[in-house]
Structure 1
Amino acid sequence: MTYVPAPVRREQIVAAARRVMARDGVADASLRSVAAEAEVPLGTMQHAFRTKSQLLQAVVDDVIDEIAAVYGTSPHVDHGLPQAIQQNLTDFWSHLVEGHSQLQLMQYELTTHALRSAGHERLANWQYRRYGEGVARWCEDAASRSGEVCAIPFDQLARLIVAGIDGLILQHLCEPDELRSTHDLQVFIDLVITLTETGPAPAR
């Protein structure tokens, strides 16, 4: 077998795990099935990830990094918080929700699997904490760059954004309707922007 550096091998295994979980569901994804998908011996698989919990956390991290990459490429962070909310949530929906039902379903399954599996509850906490921290980070950055203040704390704003987007995605998964979902997303964005009541930061 051709030598593959450990970091590259881990990336290959995580990518394989995402395919297996999207196709078969999180509960049915085993280390053995992921090893087969990645075309590596089970021993190699277990050297990279000793437990399924470790693999699940790596998958969560990879998905969140993908989401962060979408937010990170937005040029609108320099145009104020309302514009950042508008563009980032629109970009997120078009890049990672429309046409990506398996990805979104896998994320919900990761959460419910962790909550239902004794000893794995920490993973669900980690997943949603990282979602919130990522959203709070770009919201605060956008406000700071434009000298704005927000009516509510950024961590609370982020939790509300994550909660609202979660609900819209679940409804879209249950009854796919691009036109309706896009309209509902825009209404939600308008509500969030109103909630922030941004204004210039007070002079020092």
Structure 2
Amino acid sequence: MSRADTASERRTEIIAATIRVLARDGLAQTTTRKIAAEAGVNQATLRYYFGSKDDLLFAVLQEMMKLTGEIARRARAGSSGSIREIIADSLIAFWSSVEESPELQIIQYELTLYALRHPASSWLARQQYDGYCAVVESLIQEAFAAANLTCAIPVADLARFIVGGLDGIILQFISDRNTVRSRRDIDHLTSAVIALAEGAPSSHRES
């Protein structure tokens, strides 16, 4: 294994250890000492690979963004059939991953707010949501192209609606862990997304 490979592997191990500490103790109680102990390295090694605690936390946020994108793509890959089925299957598959690891969602929100508090890193928060929307937009485009159909509203608009809806449901779920209600909310979101995608007329519009 080359030195570059070894360094990349060590960085990956440290990021994974940081995620475990954040999930267990929360951002406020996460220290470089705890991270080093979890990763099995000394604090000098942490500084060598990441420079500062902030640099490490921002690297973790980027890794969380990557993981969320991968979850969304796996959800889409496991679905087939009509546009309605693809939307429904993808949303429920993604939601299942939220229910399985709610602590990862808490980490993302904590790190997003942390980044926004630091002007030099606020771009990470913007990049995070731009990245999520880009992934969802790509998946929607692929689904419509495969079905030889056209989305009734701009795909970018639909993608942001989906991300915004999921964000709200996730925040409520990690607050009270009400699985029954959150599943019902996901069903409602699915119906709204399908209606927008297919161009169903809104009830508040004049005929």
TM-score (norm 1): 0.85
Map of 2:184 onto structure 1: 183
Count the aligned residue pairs. 196
Which is worse superposed, 30-39 or 171-180? 30-39
Q: Deviations over 1:46-81 (max 9, x none)?
A: 222123343233222322332233333344555343
Which residue, out of 80, 83, 96, partners 1:81? 83
- The residue matched to 1:44 in structure 2 has which SS? helix
Map of 2:24 onto structure 1: 23
Closer, same or farther: CA 176–147 of 1 in aligned 2, 3 Å:
same
Map of 1:67 onto structure 2: 68
Contact 1:80 1:148 in 2 (8 A): no
Percent of aligned pairs with the same residue? 37
Runs of 4+ in 1 over 4 A off after TM superposition: none
**Structure 1 alignment gaps of length 5 or more:** 199-204
Amino acid at match of 1:167: G
1:159 aligned onto 2:135: no
**Structure 2 alignment gaps of length 5 or more:** 200-207
Contact 1:27 1:113 in 2 (8 A): no
1:55-134 to 2 correspondences below 5 Å: 55-73=56-74, 74-75=76-77, 78-95=80-97, 97-134=98-135
C-alpha distance in 2, partners of 1:127/1:13? Answer: 21
Contact 1:31 1:46 in 2 (8 A): no
C-alpha RMSD of matched pairs (Å): 2.2
- The residue matched to 1:173 in structure 2 has which SS? helix
**Which is helix-richer, 1 or 2?**
2
Map of 2:204 onto structure 1: none
Map of 2:205 onto structure 1: none
